[in-house]
Amino acid sequence: MKGTKSASRYAKSLMVLAIEQNLLEQAYADMKLIDDTCDQTKELQLLLKSPVVKADKKEAIMKAVFKGKLSAITEQFVQLIIRHRRENILHEISDSFVKQYQAYKKIDVAEIISAIPLKADIKANLVAQLKKQSGREVLVKEIVDPAIIGGLVVRIGDKQYDGSIARKLNDLKKDFSKNPYVPSF
For residue 9, pLDDT over 90 is answered with yes
Report the amino acid identity of residue 61.
I
CB count within 10 Å of CB 59 equals: 16
pLDDT class for 1, splitting at 50, 70, 90?
Answer: very low
The DSSP string of 34-92 is: HHHHHHH-HHHHHHHH-SSS-HHHHHHHHHHHTTTTS-HHHHHHHHHHHHTT-GGGHHH
Does the model's pTM come out above 0.85? no
pLDDT tens sequence across 77-112: 999 999 999 999 999 999 999 999 999 999 999 999
How many Å is the maximal CA-CA distance in the chain?
84
For residue 2, pLDDT over 80 is answered with no
Distance CA 27, CA 18 (A): 7
pLDDT tens sequence across 54-82: 989 999 999 999 999 999 999 999 999 99
